[in-house]
Structure 1
């Protein structure tokens, strides 16, 4: 059974978008690593609950604006924030 050409084209688009998504995410983690170093230098805590709450609120608004489910976007952002905090604790 052959796969329709349209399906193959859509899968190629998904693969390209995944590449972009992970490239942006890797870039974000490079920046947050710099934040972790600055926090260490200035003896600041690894976690900033106020900043995280602001980020999650902003995430929900951005998701709504772009047609993405805000709950899903916040769960994804929470996962990212948790990884950032874990990395900051290792600094």
Structure 2
């Protein structure tokens, strides 16, 4: 079966977007690792519930502005925040 050129082009776009998405995510985790080291240095707790609430509120606005599925986007943000906390607990 021959794949239409338009489909191939869209798949290339998806691949490029995936690369960007994971590059940005990797960069985010590099920064949050630095946050974890500072928390350790200053003996701060791994989890900052107030900061997480602020992040989730910002995410809700970004979701609305971008027209994303709110439930999905908030699950993704929660997953990221949980991973950050887990990494901070390992510091």
TM-score, normalising length: structure 1: 0.98
Unpaired segments of 5 or more residues in structure 1? none
Partner of 1:56: 56
Partner of 1:46: 46
Partner of 1:85: 85
> Aligned partners of 1:4, 1:61: CA distance in 2, in Å?
37
Q: Which has the higher contact order (CA 8 A, sep 6+)?
A: 2
Partner of 1:34: 34
CA RMSD of aligned residues (A): 0.5
Give aligned pairs, total.
91
| Contact kept? 1:59, 1:74, Cα under 8 Å | yes
TM-score, normalising length: structure 2: 0.98
The structural deviation recorded for 1:70 is: 1.8
Runs of 4+ in 1 over 6 A off after TM superposition: none
Partner of 1:20: 20
